Every structure is written in structure tokens, then in C-alpha cells.
A and B are shown apart, each in its own frame.
Chain A
Amino acid sequence: MLVYDFIRWWYGPGWCGVGRSLQRRLHGLADTFSVGILLRTLFAPWRRIISYPGAGIGDHLRALGDNLVSRCIGFVVRLFVLVAAAVSSVLLLLAGLIQLLTWPVLPLAALGCLVWGIF
């Protein structure tokens, strides 16, 4: 009964749990890297460092230039983090998929190694 219960769990809720765990970790990673927020504010000025235009056309142009630089800095920083998040997600996904695929063969592999090693 013990072995039956184990096999039933391993190939049922246990295997599904590995998939759910991967899903949770991917979600957590996206949250840690603020993916949603960074995508929404991708072109926003960096830390709101902006210039307010004066009265003349020159002031307007200077403010426009300053703000463009701030937005560029913001874009670069956010893009860098988004790329880091994407790379981390891919690595996590790969590791998760490997775990997901090896999970069902693990009991058989364990038995196989033991038997093969002894005999």
C-alpha cells in the first residue's frame, strides 16, 4: 500500500506540483524584477528628474533636451533590468522543464542504477 500510495502521488499530484511550483517561481521572478511596472513606465524619465520649460523658445528646447536625456537613461536602465529578467526567466524555465521531464523517470532511474550497479 505504501508503494502504491507513493507511485500514485509521484505521478499525480507530485508531478503537477512541480509544474505549479515552476509557474509560481516564474511569477515571483517577474514580480522581483517589476516586469509589469517597468514595461508600463519604459519611457518615463528616470526618477522624475525633469526640467520645467521657461518662457523662451530656447528654454523650451533645453527642457526638451534634458527630459529626453532623463527618459533615455530611464529606458536604458529599465531595458537592462528587463533583459536580466528575461534571461533569468529563461534559465529558470529551462531548469524547471528539466525537472518536469526528469521527474517521471527518477524512480525508474534510481532502481535501474541500483540494479545495474549491483549486478
Chain B
Amino acid sequence: MPEFELDLASGRARRARYGRRLGAVGYGWLLALALICIIVAISLRLTGHGSHWLSLLGAGLLLYLPAAWWRYDLRDVQPGPSSTITDRLAGSVLRQLDRRTAYTPRSLWGAIQRDWQVQSLCHHLLLTPDMLMPILSDNPADLAIVWEAASQLSPDRSRPLEAGAVAAALILTVPTIGAVLASLNLSERDVLAVAAWLDRDLTVMHRPQQSFGGIGRDWANGFTPRLNQFGHNLSLAIEHHHAHFGSLVDSPGVQAMKAAFQQGTNALALIGPNGIGKTSHAYALAQNLLIGSSNPQQQHRQVIALDASAIIASAQRPGQLEYLLTTLLNEAVHAGNITLFFDDAQLFFQSGPGSLDLTQILLPILQARNVRSIFALSPHDYQQLKATNANFAGLLTPIVLQEPPADKTLEIIADTASNLEGRHQLLITYEAIKETYALSGRYELDMAYPGKAIRLLEQALSHAEQRVVTARSVQAAIEQTTGVKAGTAAPVEADQLLHLEDQIHERMINQVRAVGVVASALRRARAGVSNPNRPIGSFLFLGPTGVGKTELAKAVAATYFGDEASLIRLDMSEYQQESDVARLLSGGEHETSSLILKVRQQPFSVVLLDEIEKAHPNILNLMLQLLDEGQLTDLQGRRVSFKDAVVIATSNAGADQIRQRIEQGQRLEDFETELTDQLISSGQFRPELLNRFDEIVLFRPLTPDELGQVVRLMLTGINQTLAAQNISVALTDAAVATIVQVGNDPRLGARPMRRALQRAVENTVANKILRGEIQPGSQLTLDASDLQPPQ
């Protein structure tokens, strides 16, 4: 029989069908009837009544035979000895197949689509079984390709070919599946990942009962009553709750810890950033020892985590803390099988509220190598320990945990999702898992994988819709915790984005090119077609004072981010010294001029760096990193993302030249490149900095007509203030022309205009109110002659 030809007439296939026909209900009836017959037969024999006890006993035994057959064989027909598909196919699949049907991929799908594994695969991919039915082949000859693909998906010949692998193979062998999956924002890789996820779940479900050493395992080791009180026994927790840490149990980190202990090291520093899984590694080590798969003689070893807060809280009098710690350590030494795990170990090494300095008590014990211990530390805390207590740090063997690679992290998130699904009775789709990985990587910079992704996934559970956690749930969770807009643009919002220029021009006059460039960048970012590892947009605005550079930044903050308060403005002329770099990068909560702190608090913002050319060269070097990688690192080594910020730098460099050339009638586009080259050659800007901006935008001086429009825009602001008194003011053209004439200063652009307007209009209105010439509800139109001469 060829390897990929299904033989439904085989003995194994027949047995699988017998199993389906009898079923669990039939088995129950058979067993019950058998027992009744046997009991009645024995009763009759013992009481001496009746003459048919023997035939009843025979009937009972006969009924028991098929029941035993079902229980030990038919219920789950084990794989056969050969590598043919008939022998490899799981009993649960084989039992669904009818002998008289010539199966095609389509009819096979129809036969297995109600299997829980197929349902699970489809639900996690957000596919409906009916969606696939029409596109599956109806040619029996194509089935061999399906079996071959399924066999490749499940290469372990010692395990049956489950329905999940068959379903994944059916999906993947459809010639047009790429387009179907793409329409659902999925890929063939996702199908493979979900099939592998299902396979891992099956491995956990079918794993044999673990042996933990039995009743006498710990009889050669001492009692630990105080440790049990002030610590948490990780080994017993695993034993009692049948916890399983999956592939982590044999991970490089756990193997490194075991190897270090076997080589005689007694104290380890488990170093890794928050979220990398230091505590999970301690649990995994406990499980590894407990299973004793590699060394059964280590099964008695137990890992106990000390609870710093419980220890500190228990000490009422001076000296009591030291006494308690000494007792705990002596108990661990005496027991002989304890590995102490100091989670958040920095709490044991520093004096202050909620922490204690344990080094002087621990030092002699570590030096005597009496007890195994693991200290979980962040890289920063380990460096601090080395700096403050080199002796103690020297006794620790460092084991540095690395973030798992992307595919491994996705596996860990998926396995965690399986646990969460069971605990909360909901479904977590694979797109949600991918989104969790992507968004946590982008926004949770203070933590490492996989912890940050798991935390985000847990937060997303509360955003599940109809008990299904989707990518949208994850986006909603990140939006709630960080305030960023992670979701795709909704229709209304999309319409706003398409008309962003109009909205900006409601508060800005002209500078059409600058507005267009910025609006296009924002649209690209929101549609997800820009580089996600850089800021949403980065622009260098060049032009004279008072032409709208800052106003455009404010307009972007208001229109795109919804609030003008989203503008983070730094005057770079205040950062001219080398020492100012520290001020800019300080992560301290009280450093008000820290760019890092402001962006961490408000990642979704417009960062306006005024007069960038005046900043110290070291700060400009930081800008290179910011614009290139979309992130900066603070003085404490923590990263902050600028990937959701629009970075705008402004400069007056070249302003005179812009003004002169515009006055000569040139267009901005004509001399844009030439001006940029001049700025580089004159040493005002380094080429590497200019090259990193998405766009260098030139602003041209405003004409008197445009200044008039600015005046009218400003008047709207004044009217909003006066609205409280129910008074509104209008200006005639002559009045506007007068204000423009008074306020126009070619060097300062529109900036003096506000002052001129305030002096002329506000003073006039104020005097009229005081004189009682206007009442609430009045509409006042001012002509040039009505205006108070500006002082």
C-alpha cells in the first residue's frame, strides 16, 4: 500500500468505525448490563434461587467482552506499526470516515469539520468551515497531496496524525488559499503557527502523569517550618497544582542554572530586565528538578522563594529581622535540599522603606557555600550591586537571560493564551496574539518579552467582544493604558484624515506646501504604510519668524491628536551646553525640562524643537538616533519611543535668503535644494541631520493680503473671548488694512499682528463697554476710524 493512500477497508479503520458505532453511551450500557447480570447471577447462586444463574453469568461476561474492547482499544485506536497514512491517522479522524466514500479534500473537510480540533483551528484563525468548503478540491486524486502535507506538518512518526494537522493541510493545499487568507489579514505562516499551537496543546493534554518521587522523597532532608512560613515553595506548588512550564523547563537559562550548580557554584545571579521571565525560570528549574528526567537523584531538591515584604513586615523589634533571616538561612542549610530564590533581589540589598540590606548576613553563608541560592536582578541592579558591594557580587555567578526570538515569543504568548482561554472561558484569536506581540514591542519599552506581551494580552481580555479576544481588543487595551491610537482608522476618522489640509487651513493661512507635506505624512502613518520604526513624521521647518511654523505644529497637535496640549515644545536655545544633554535625557519625575519624561507621559504628541540649530552638537547627535530609530534611552537605561510622535524642528536659518528670493519673485520649489546645500556648506546644519528628516519644508513670508486673513482669524479668537459677554466684533476691510499696516514688520512676519490687533480692537471694545456704548447682545462693526491708535 503506498504511503499516502488511505485504506478504509483496513482492520484499523474498521475498528475505528466500530468504536464510533458503539460510542461512550453504548459502552456505558454494556458495562452496566454486564455488571447487573454478574451481580444477579452471583446473588442467585448464593441464595440458591433459580437455575439460570450460570447463563446469566455467561451473558454478563459476554457483555463485558465488547465493553472491554471499547475501553482498551476502540475508544482511541492506537496508530499502527507502518508509516502509511492509514496507520498514522489518529483514531478520532479515522472513525469519521465512511468505507464506501471515495474521499476528496472537500468531502474529507465535510467529514472532519465538526471535530473540536478543526473547530479550534478555524476559530483561532477567524475562518468559518463553510468558507473553505467551496474552494476545496473535489478531485480524489488531490487527497494524496493533503496527506503528504499533513505528514510534513506532523513529522513525529511516533504520534498519530491528528485532525488539526489534517485540517491545516487541507487549508494549505488549496491553490488559491493565499488570496483568501490575505483578505482576512492572514498568511500561510499563520496557519502553520496555529497548527503548531494546537499540536503543543495536544502534547500537554496527553502528557503522561508525572512522577515526583513518592511519599519518601524528602525523608532524608530536614524540616523547614519557618521557611514554609516566610517563603513560597515553588516545587510543592508545581507538584500540587500540576503546573507545567512547557519548553521553558529545558530552556538554555534553566540548563545554565543546572550546569552551574552541578559545577559547584552555589550562588547565581539571574540577570534580565523586567518581564523576561526570571521568576518563570525559577519555577521551570523547580519543575526540571522535580521531574528528574535528566537526573532522578535531584528530585528531592526544592526551590523556595523568599518573600521580602513578609519578612520585613514580621520584624517588630530591632534585631528581630536579622534573627529571623539567620533562622531562615540556617534552616535552608540544615535541610540540605533547599535552593533559595530571592525574587526582586535588590530588595534584600538596599536599605530603605520596604527593603533591607541582607548582604552581611548572606556573605558568610555564600562564602561557606552551604546553601544554593538564586538572586533575580535587573542588569541595572546587578551593576549597582557590583558598585556598592563588590565582595558580595563577586560570589555570584551571573547568568544573563536573553529575550527569546520572535517565533519563540509568539509560541510563549500562544501557550499563555491557551491557559487564559481555559481560565476565562473565552477565545483568543491568533491575530490578537500577533497584535499583542507587535503592540507590546512598540509601546511597552520598559519591559522585555515575553512578559510585556503577556501583560498586554491579559489587559486585552477585558476588551473581548462576545467572549472573543481579537486584534481590536488588544488595540483597545493599549489605547486605554498608553493613550496611543493603535487601531486602524475608523470611517469617520478616515474622512477627517483625507481632509486634514482643510482642517489645518481653518486656523492657518497659506503655507500650502508645508501643510500638504505634513498632512500626507500623517495619512501615511495612520494607514500603516510608513516605516513603523521611526517617528510618524519628522520635519525641519525653515523660514522667517512669524510665518506659521509653530502654528502649523499646534494645528497638527489639535487636528491629528485631538488637543493642542499634545504639543511638547522645547526651546533648544536652552540646551546649548554639554551638561544640558543630561537634563534632556533625565528620567526623573521632577525634571520638568526632560524630553524623555514628557514623551513617556505623552507618547502620542507633536514634539516641537524650536531653534534646533542652537542646540549643543551632542544633542544634535541624539537627534540622529531619535529620527533614525524612533527612540531614545534615558540616563537610567530605559528606552522611550518616539514612534507615535511627530517631530518638528524649526529654524530661522536661511530666513533672509528666503525673504529676498520670494521678493525677487522666485517660488519656494525653485530654490529649496539650493538653500539646503547652502545651509550645509555654511556649517549651519550637518548633512547627516538634514538627511534624516522626512521633509525639509520652507515657509515663505506672508503677503499683506495673507496678513489680513491672519487678522480675521485672530479676530475669531477675540470674539470667542467676548462671547462670555455676548458681544461680537467685526472689522471692515479698511480696519483690517489699518491693522496690517501698523502690525506689519517684514522681519517678524505675523507675530506683531496679534499685538496690533489687541491694542487696536480690544482697547476700543473695552472703552466702549466702560462707557456703556455697547450692551450684552451687541454686534459691533469697527471701521478704521473707530480703532484706537496703537500705543
Q: Which B residues lie within 8 Å of A31 (CB)?
A: 211, 213-214
Q: Indicate if the CB atoms of B69 and A116 lie closer than 8 Å.
A: no
Name the CB-closest residue of B to A6. B69
Name the CB-closest residue of B to A4. B11
Name the CB-closest residue of A to B14. A5
Name the CB-closest residue of A to B335. A48
Name the CB-closest residue of B to A36. B296
Binds B, one of A56-64, A73-81, A87-95: A73-81
Q: Indicate if the CB atoms of B336 and A48 lie closer than 8 Å.
A: yes
Q: How far is the CB of B75 from chain A (nearest CB, A)?
A: 13
Q: How far is the CB of A8 from chain B (nearest CB, A)?
A: 7
Q: Which B residues lie within 8 Å of A77 (CB)?
A: 219
Name the CB-closest residue of B to A48. B222
With A13-B73, A113-B54 known as contacts, the answer to whether A37 contacts B300 (CB < 8 A) is: yes
8 A Cβ contacts from B15-66 to A: 15, 18, 52-59, 61-62, 64-66
Q: Which A residues lie within 8 Å of B69 (CB)?
A: 6, 9-10, 14
Selected from A13, A38, A117, the residue in CB contact (under 8 A) with B56 is A117
Instruction: Count A-B contacts at CB 8 Å.
Output: 113
Q: Indicate if the CB atoms of B219 and A9 lie closer than 8 Å.
A: no
Q: How far is the CB of A33 from chain B (nearest CB, A)?
A: 6
With A9-B73, A14-B73, A110-B65 known as contacts, the answer to whether A115 contacts B58 (CB < 8 A) is: yes
8 A Cβ contacts from A5-60 to B: 5-6, 8-10, 13-14, 17, 28, 31-38, 40-41, 44-49
B442 within 8 A of A: no
A111 within 8 A of B: yes
Q: Indicate if the CB atoms of A117 and B221 lie closer than 8 Å.
A: no
Q: Indicate if the CB atoms of B216 and A34 lie closer than 8 Å.
A: yes
A118 within 8 A of B: yes
A98 within 8 A of B: no
Q: Indicate if the CB atoms of B220 and A48 lie closer than 8 Å.
A: yes
Q: How far is the CB of B626 from chain A (nearest CB, A)?
A: 60
In Å, the complex CA distance between A8 and B10 comes to: 13
Q: Indicate if the CB atoms of B55 and A117 lie closer than 8 Å.
A: yes
Q: Indicate if the CB atoms of B213 and A117 lie closer than 8 Å.
A: no
In this complex, the member of A17, A38, A45, A74 whose beta carbon has the largest number of chain B beta carbons within 10 angstroms is: A38
B323 within 8 A of A: no
B116 within 8 A of A: no
Selected from A1, A33, A49, A117, the residue in CB contact (under 8 A) with B14 is A1
Q: Indicate if the CB atoms of B217 and A34 lie closer than 8 Å.
A: yes
Q: Indicate if the CB atoms of A110 and B220 lie closer than 8 Å.
A: no
With A5-B15, A17-B72, A34-B215 known as contacts, the answer to whether A111 contacts B220 (CB < 8 A) is: no
Q: Which B residues lie within 8 Å of A2 (CB)?
A: 18
Q: Indicate if the CB atoms of A110 and B215 lie closer than 8 Å.
A: no
Q: Which A residues lie within 8 Å of B217 (CB)?
A: 34, 37
Q: How far is the CB of A67 from chain B (nearest CB, A)?
A: 13
Interface size bucket, B side? 35 or more
Name the CB-closest residue of B to A46. B219
Q: How far is the CB of A69 from chain B (nearest CB, A)?
A: 16
Q: Indicate if the CB atoms of B55 and A113 lie closer than 8 Å.
A: yes
Q: Which B residues lie within 8 Å of A78 (CB)?
A: 216, 219
Q: Indicate if the CB atoms of B216 and A48 lie closer than 8 Å.
A: no
In Å, the complex CA distance between A53 and B213 comes to: 32
Q: SS class of chain A's interface: helix, strand, loop or mixed?
A: helix
8 A Cβ contacts from B181-222 to A: 211, 213-217, 219-222
Name the CB-closest residue of A to B337. A48
Name the CB-closest residue of A to B221. A48
A101 within 8 A of B: no
Name the CB-closest residue of B to A45. B220
With A47-B223, A48-B220, A48-B334 known as contacts, the answer to whether A6 contacts B65 (CB < 8 A) is: yes
In Å, the complex CA distance between A31 and B73 comes to: 27
Q: How far is the CB of B423 from chain A (nearest CB, A)?
A: 30
Q: Indicate if the CB atoms of A37 and B58 lie closer than 8 Å.
A: no
A83 within 8 A of B: no
Q: Indicate if the CB atoms of A37 and B299 lie closer than 8 Å.
A: yes
Name the CB-closest residue of B to A38. B216
Q: Indicate if the CB atoms of A114 and B55 lie closer than 8 Å.
A: yes
Q: Which B residues lie within 8 Å of A10 (CB)?
A: 65, 69
With A9-B69, A37-B216 known as contacts, the answer to whether A117 contacts B54 (CB < 8 A) is: yes
A106 within 8 A of B: yes
A97 within 8 A of B: no
With A17-B72, A111-B62 known as contacts, the answer to whether A81 contacts B215 (CB < 8 A) is: yes
In Å, the complex CA distance between A118 and B55 comes to: 6
Q: Indicate if the CB atoms of A114 and B219 lie closer than 8 Å.
A: no
In Å, the complex CA distance between A40 and B216 comes to: 11
Q: How far is the CB of B647 from chain A (nearest CB, A)?
A: 64
Q: Which A residues lie within 8 Å of B336 (CB)?
A: 48
In Å, the complex CA distance between A27 and B175 comes to: 51
Q: Which B residues lie within 8 Å of A117 (CB)?
A: 52-58
In Å, the complex CA distance between A38 and B215 comes to: 10
Q: How far is the CB of B45 from chain A (nearest CB, A)?
A: 11
Name the CB-closest residue of A to B74. A9
In Å, the complex CA distance between A85 and B26 comes to: 38
Q: Indicate if the CB atoms of A34 and B213 lie closer than 8 Å.
A: yes
Q: Which B residues lie within 8 Å of A44 (CB)?
A: 219-220
Name the CB-closest residue of B to A109. B61
Selected from B54, B56, B65, B213, the residue in CB contact (under 8 A) with A107 is B65
Name the CB-closest residue of A to B34. A110
Q: How far is the CB of A32 from chain B (nearest CB, A)?
A: 5
A65 within 8 A of B: no
Q: How far is the CB of A14 from chain B (nearest CB, A)?
A: 6
Q: Which A residues lie within 8 Å of B300 (CB)?
A: 37
8 A Cβ contacts from B440-481 to A: none
Name the CB-closest residue of A to B209. A28
Q: Which B residues lie within 8 Å of A34 (CB)?
A: 213-217, 219
Name the CB-closest residue of B to A107. B65
Q: Which A residues lie within 8 Å of B56 (CB)?
A: 117
Q: How far is the CB of A55 from chain B (nearest CB, A)?
A: 20
In Å, the complex CA distance between A106 and B62 comes to: 9
Selected from B14, B52, B58, the residue in CB contact (under 8 A) with A112 is B58
Name the CB-closest residue of B to A35. B214
In Å, the complex CA distance between A31 and B65 comes to: 32
Q: Indicate if the CB atoms of B58 and A33 lie closer than 8 Å.
A: no
With A9-B69, A115-B58, A117-B53 known as contacts, the answer to whether A81 contacts B216 (CB < 8 A) is: yes
With A110-B58, A117-B58 known as contacts, the answer to whether A32 contacts B214 (CB < 8 A) is: yes
Selected from B54, B59, B73, the residue in CB contact (under 8 A) with A116 is B54
Selected from A14, A48, A81, A111, the residue in CB contact (under 8 A) with B58 is A111
Q: Which A residues lie within 8 Å of B15 (CB)?
A: 5, 9
In Å, the complex CA distance between A87 and B66 comes to: 33
In this complex, the member of B52, B56, B58, B73 whose beta carbon has the largest number of chain A beta carbons within 10 angstroms is: B58
Q: Indicate if the CB atoms of B11 and A8 lie closer than 8 Å.
A: yes
Interface 1/0 per residue, B318-353 and A, CB below 8 Å: 000000000000000011100000000000000000
In Å, the complex CA distance between A84 and B82 comes to: 43
Interface 1/0 per residue, B1-21 and A, CB below 8 Å: 000000000010011001000
With A31-B214, A32-B214, A106-B65 known as contacts, the answer to whether A41 contacts B59 (CB < 8 A) is: no
Q: Which A residues lie within 8 Å of B220 (CB)?
A: 37, 41, 44-45, 47-48, 74
Q: Which B residues lie within 8 Å of A5 (CB)?
A: 11, 14-15, 18
Q: Which B residues lie within 8 Å of A114 (CB)?
A: 54-55, 58-59, 62
In Å, the complex CA distance between A29 and B223 comes to: 26
B interface residues (Cβ-Cβ under 8 A, vs A): 11, 14-15, 18, 52-59, 61-62, 64-66, 68-69, 72-73, 211, 213-217, 219-223, 296-297, 299-300, 334-336
8 A-B Cβ contacts within 8 A?
Answer: A5-B15, A10-B69, A31-B213, A37-B220, A44-B219, A48-B334, A112-B58, A116-B54
Apart from A38-B216, A47-B222, A74-B219, what 17 extra A-B contacts exist at CB < 8 Å? A5-B15, A8-B11, A14-B69, A31-B213, A32-B214, A33-B215, A34-B219, A35-B214, A37-B219, A37-B299, A37-B300, A38-B219, A74-B220, A110-B61, A111-B58, A114-B54, A118-B52
- Top 3 closest A-B pairs, CB basis? A117-B55, A114-B58, A113-B58
